[in-house]
A and B are shown apart, each in its own frame.
Chain A
């Protein structure tokens, strides 16, 4: 093969590029770089800049300094609940749904009876979009016509699962977790299948118990999967939107930062400056996770 022969005959040391190489490299690096700047960095910086202005999308853009932020933190009642709900979402997915998905993966991997059936059943919700999950949640949890209240037979004073602001976030989290668990399960299942059985055998010979083998031997070898699952969990928690929007447009106990951004920016007379300020807050939170992740990765690579 051309690749292999080229490598075998390849010279050691610094390599010179022909002008053609440079042109190809330049184009192929330049296009993604340009796209990166136009599609990602441009809008990001524009959002940051707009967050210091007042603009309705039609008229002039007025500079208002940090007014939007002051307003956001002190004069906008849905903001703090939204921030809390995003963190709750992260905690719930990270501490409940993800470990549960791992548990299911381990059980299925050990080959309980009908494991194929369970595998497909748990994976099924993953192919549904979150908006559809939201609609299903409404069919189940609706106070007057929902399946849950019909099953409970509570006709006198039925629980308002989706309308009670203290309760509805948990119902929605349950629905979101339903989908997330299947996703995590499938990822771990793939990882578990790839774990070398001889590792487990070696551990068993060394006298390790089953829990010990799992936590000391199997889980560490799953590190790449753990990282992916962690990243997915964080992304799912921060971008959560569809499901609450389908349920009640993200109001009355279901506020999320992403919904507030949409509410303020998209619409007839947009508060683009104010909405951008919320988006910047969301960006800052995401950056926190991104930076932590990158630092971890870079350190991991160095120690490896």
Chain B
């Protein structure tokens, strides 16, 4: 530094100004250098060891401690059983961050194998050419039902996903409460409403209800829709092929409105944890949830008191055919550089083949009992009674849906449907205005390619 070059005919004040600006420059340069090197560093992390062809990198969204440990056990077991010395190197990213960045992740430098969801959320990326076709592996897979195969198949009829586990949605309640008061699990909507009325007389809030997080109420919407109009309609509606201002959708909201007086009021201000706690505290009688949700708010000693029944029948034509059971699984990222190496590709496919076995699922579920295995070859003897009941529910399903936010475009579900359902909960009277609004936005979202 040569201060004399700055020593012109200037006031002391502006000398100070120079000094500040110089410091800013240095700071800016440091930040700039950071901005330049950061992607390179990230890329270096994503690239991983590429040479040996035996190490497969795995992009994991399992950031919660229980699943994270369970996955580590499963991948460890894979390394142990592999005669060729193959192993898995896991890169775990926070669950929501992973989800929000998936687009850039898959286009940039993804891991070889990554965890993701089945159904539309997978098909979307398959259509964009970001996934490897694994139809050859599927030809050899055993123990997967037709419904699972459908959910793993892209719009082009090829398979892209290796399913691993799922969890069904149902109406949860406390066994002891039902026994004490003599409640019977309802089979039809009328019985459901009758039971709710009885609970109200018994000074209970019949149905725990929450939607502060934006997604929990979608489960109720899906079930009313599939029970009223069937799975095919659900699928087409989610794919943007049916009109949201149709008679069928209005009927769904009308039925829902009939149930709202029995639900906890002010659902938009309640988190799902708070709703599940009210179920645990016997303030509420029932709640529509996924298998992993209510149990987390129940103490260890009360776990076996948790029970569920399938969402009641609305239209006998559709009965209880469809079960909402989001599936998680593994996919191969097309942009992964390592997979261009045939040896690594072979290792990755070997890993998927192993993960598709019942044994691999057993290892995972032993450490995470909040889900159930997709393979019919998995060992269910270690399951809790609730898990066993869940298996029965899903294996008896004629169709398996994923969930509103997994069965449709993510931009549609997050920017249109979450506000729409919250608006309905806040003001259930204006169904016509609501569905017209949804339809108008749907057209622009789905038109954007």
Contacts and interface: CB of A to CB of B under 8 A. Distances in A.
A162 interface: yes
Contact of A7 (B7, B22, B269): B7
Interface in A1-39: 2-3, 6-7, 10-12, 15, 18, 20-21, 24-25, 28, 31-32, 35, 38-39
Contact of A268 (B29, B100, B274, B449): B100
Contact of B121 (A7, A145, A248, A268): A268
B437 interface: yes
A251 B437 contact: no
Nearest to A144: B274
B266 A56 contact: no
Interface stretch (A200-208, A215-223, A235-243, A259-267): A259-267
B441 A76 contact: yes
A58 interface: yes
A263 B130 CA distance: 23
A270 B415 CA distance: 10
B418 interface: yes
Contacts of B32: 31, 35, 38-39
Contacts of A78: 419
Interface string A122-161: 0000000000000000000011110000000000010011
A75 interface: yes
Interface string B19-40: 0011011001101100100000
A231 interface: no
A251 B124 CA distance: 26
Interface stretch (B78-86, B101-109, B255-263, B298-306): B101-109
B448 A252 contact: no
Contacts of A145: 274, 277
A97 B346 CA distance: 63
Given A144-B274, A163-B268, A165-B268, A6 B28 contact: no
Contacts of A263: 414-415
Central interface residue in A157, A266, A268, by most chain B CB within 10 Å: A268
Nearest to A57: B103
B267 A269 contact: no
Interface string B409-443: 11100110011001100100000000001001100
Contacts of B213: 248-249
A249 B414 CA distance: 11
Interface stretch (B8-16, B48-56, B391-399): B8-16
A7 B270 contact: no
Contacts of B415: 263-264, 271
B10 A7 contact: yes
A56 B411 CA distance: 10
B267 A267 contact: no
A62 interface: yes
B16 to A, nearest CB: 11
Contact of A266 (B31, B100, B266): B100
A54 B426 CA distance: 32
A122 B4 CA distance: 46
Contact of A270 (B22, B278, B411): B411
Contacts of A300: none
Contact of B7 (A2, A163, A251): A2
Nearest to A5: B7
A234 to B, nearest CB: 22
B334 to A, nearest CB: 12
B445 interface: yes
Contacts of B411: 56, 264, 267-271
A164 interface: yes
Contact of B28 (A32, A54, A142, A249): A32
Contact of B419 (A11, A25, A58, A252): A252
B445 A271 contact: yes
A224 interface: no
Interface residues of A, number: 56
Interface string B190-230: 00000000000000000000001110000000000000000
A241 to B, nearest CB: 15
Contacts of B444: 71, 75
Contacts of A273: 448
Contacts of A288: none
A161 B269 contact: yes
Contacts of B266: 143, 160, 163-164
Contacts of A56: 103, 411, 448-449
Contact of A163 (B103, B128, B267, B441): B267
Nearest to A30: B25
Given A32-B24, A78-B419, A271-B448, A160 B269 contact: yes
Nearest to A138: B271
A89 B51 CA distance: 55
A54 B213 CA distance: 28
B104 A7 contact: no
A178 to B, nearest CB: 20
A52 interface: no
26 contacts: A3-B3, A6-B4, A6-B7, A10-B7, A18-B5, A25-B5, A31-B28, A31-B29, A32-B25, A35-B29, A35-B32, A58-B130, A77-B419, A143-B266, A160-B266, A160-B268, A161-B269, A162-B269, A164-B266, A168-B269, A263-B414, A263-B415, A267-B414, A269-B410, A269-B411, A270-B103
Interface of A: 2-3, 6-7, 10-12, 15, 18, 20-21, 24-25, 28, 31-32, 35, 38-39, 54, 56-59, 62, 71, 75-78, 142-145, 157, 160-165, 168, 248-249, 251-252, 263-264, 266-271, 273-274
Given A25-B5, A144-B274, 14 more contacts: A6-B7, A56-B449, A57-B103, A58-B130, A78-B419, A160-B268, A162-B212, A164-B268, A248-B213, A249-B214, A251-B419, A252-B423, A267-B414, A269-B124
